[in-house]
Amino acid sequence: MKEEKVKYALVTGGSRGIGRAVCVQLAKDLDYQLLINYNGNKEAAEETLALVKEAGGNGTLLQFNVTNGEEVRSKLDDWHEANKNGVIEVLVNNAGIAKDGLFMWMSPDDWSSVINTSLNGFYNVTNALIQKLLVNKYGRIINMVSVSGLKGTPGQTNYSAAKSAVIGATKALAQEVAKRKVTVNAVAPGFIATDMTAELDESELKKMIPANRFGKAEEVAHVVSFLASDKASYITGEVININGGIYS
């Protein structure tokens, strides 16, 4: 008798903010074991795992730095070796950092670290898994981008460049893999209340937002969960905005 495959969803940068909300929502909505990736903050990742279990799901922590291609590949190879009957069907490329500042004064490190995390991180993790998704003839890749990648945000030239590049990659890869029932979509949040936006002046910024408030991480997570499901099988190469009405 053929052994039943255990299905997994991998969320990079799953320890906090939108990544955490996505892990919890997937645990509630879909029948996947969660692979919660984190880089440095194990304590926060463990809190996410506790919330996943509270929501009725289960999962494992997976530590790697998405910017380090060799480490990503070796950790994922080790995981596959240890979980022969496991199959990663869903990949949420959520890991990202911001180092804001005017371009004129932007250091090479502030430029390259942001590009490395969002864009090269997308490459490193997706490239390490894409062959298995194609062999499996089923997969969901969801890339976390940003309103900044669509309209550009002053003071975020590095972040806007990185997220815009991932949008282009999303549209191209979607066309390469669609025949194998692998979809590739992007979700572009606007101002969402998380650690990343905690220092922003919400009372001032919400005047720019037609909905007149910051979004919640859960509102982003619901869309990711839908895109990760069977229901979204005819949606690919799309960028879905979750921004309360801010359009470029």
Look up tokens 């799901």; give the residue. Answer: 57
What gap in Å lies between CA 122 and CA 74, rounded to an integer? Answer: 16
Residue 199 token pair = 């220092």
For the chain, give the number of residues.
Answer: 248
The CB-side HSE value for 182 (13 A sphere, CA atoms) comes to 25
The CB-side HSE value for 127 (13 A sphere, CA atoms) comes to 16
Can you tell me whether residue 129 is helix, strand or coil?
A: helix
To the query of whether residue 159 is one of the catalytic residues in this protein, the response is yes
245 closest CA partner among 205, 217, 212: 212
Q: Residue 240 class from Cβ within 10 Å (0-12 exposed, 13-18 middle, 19+ buried)?
A: middle
> CB neighbours (10 Å) of residue 206?
16
What gap in Å lies between CA 185 and CA 171, rounded to an integer? Answer: 8
Can you tell me whether residue 36 is helix, strand or coil?
A: strand
Question: Which DSSP letter does residue 13 get?
Answer: T
Out of 8, 32, 38, 159, the active site residue is 159
Write out the catalytic residue numbers: 159
